[in-house]
Every structure is written in structure tokens, then in C-alpha cells.
Amino acid sequence: MSYFKELPNIAYQSPLLDKNSSRDFIVIKNIFRRAKLFDFLKANVNLLDKLIIKDGARPDMVAEDLYGDPTLDYVVILVAGITNIHHQWPLQDYQVYDFSLEKYGSEVEMNKIKYYETFEIRDEQDRQILPPNLIVDADFKIDGTSHKFPNTTRYTVRAQTGNRQLDDKDEFTVATDNIARAVTNLEYEYTQNEKRREIDVLRTSYLQNFISDFRDVVRYGKNSRYITSSLVATENTEAVNP
């Protein structure tokens, strides 16, 4: 990945036990410099498009598809706001099961209910009584029709599997009226993985400007620790003045 080639260096006080003196420094990449780039991107959202990552696609493959150059994978990663590629890049579908099994320890735990997710409920006047996709627990309930609106006698539960009616009663619950569906730990992990598939990507027409601006943004300005535009030194806290 060419990303590290673009980052500036920092001369850091050596922590090595075999150093020659307290004045020894080691040169490392300043990965914290990328924070300036994130601020730049937030201020220029018009440069971005949305992309759904295909199953099995890697950052270099996305860069190849978008920009014709797999070494620009760092552009894909930076623009997407990814700081930990192992945790934030989507797994392949078949890997989610193995990941979940390792995370939860057994198939029994993996298939336990994590939470409940509400169905949308509307009344005869098409007024929304309960929004969809709210995360609730097993004891969740809502007031019956007569408690909400005086002239309402029936609710309709809307779901992907089809609509169904809830006749008038004092209250409706998850257990007795199925107003929310159970979501297992495994389903949750699949859902989170799918969310990670949608990322921001840089529009091709802005690529060269972005690379140029990126180099400018991460370079150092002159300060008391300045050596070059790509190298600064940290304070030496161990040096003893003569």
C-alpha cells in the first residue's frame, strides 16, 4: 500500500535498550497526521460518492475498479474513514459465520436472541403508531387502540412477510402479539457486516487534486521541532544539558 510512502516521518526519542545515548532517535511514520485529512474530507463531502463493496472485494480491487490503479488502495481506505482495516472492512459472507462462532464461543450462544426489532404499526387512518426497526427488549409493549385514538379500533402490522391485523385490546406485547421480531447474535453480525459494505469513495475527477492536497495536508509547517517538510523531531526528555 502506497499510503505509508505518503505519510511524513517523525524522529522519536529512542526507547531501545541498546541505544548508544539519550540523544538517539528513531525515525517512524507519523500515522496521526491522517487526522488532518479526515477534517479536510468532512469539509468537502461534495467530492464523494457512495459505493457498495462487493462480496470478497479488497481495497486494492476497489481502487483498480474506480481509478485503474490498485496501489491507490490507500485513497479508498482514507476516504472511507477506515482506521482499522481488520475490523471495519466487510468480511466475506461465509466468514461472518466463523467470526461469530469464535466471538460467541458456541452455536448455542451465537443463536441466542440479542434484541427485538419492531415492526411498523399503523391505524385505519394510516397514522404511524409504532416506527419500524426500533431495538426493544422482550418485555416491550404498546397501548391498545382505544388508549391511542378514541375512534381507532384496529392496527395493521406491516412486515416484509405481509401485513396482519391487530384487533382492539388494552395493550399489545412482543410475546402475545408479535409486534417485534427476535434478532439473534448471528443475524446482528450479518447486519453489521452489511452496513460496513457502504462506504464513501472519491469521485474520479477529483483524484489527482486529492493526492496533491493530501500531500500538502500531511506535510509539516515550520515550528520549533521542524527539520524538513516531511520530518520533525519530538522533544528529548532524557538529554542532560552540560
Q: How many other β-carbons are positioned within 10 Å of the β-carbon of residue 142?
A: 21
The structure's pTM equals 0.71
- Cα–Cα distance, 180 to 164 (Å, whole number): 13
Residue 9 CB burial class (10 angstroms; 0-12, 13-18, ≥19): middle
Calculate the alpha carbon distances from 120 to 127, 157, 162, 183, 191 in Å: 11, 6, 11, 16, 19
Give 24-70 pLDDT, tens digit per residue: 544 444 445 555 566 666 666 788 899 999 999 999 999 999 999 99
Give 85-144 pLDDT, tens digit per residue: 889 999 999 999 999 999 999 999 999 999 999 999 998 888 899 999 999 999 999 988
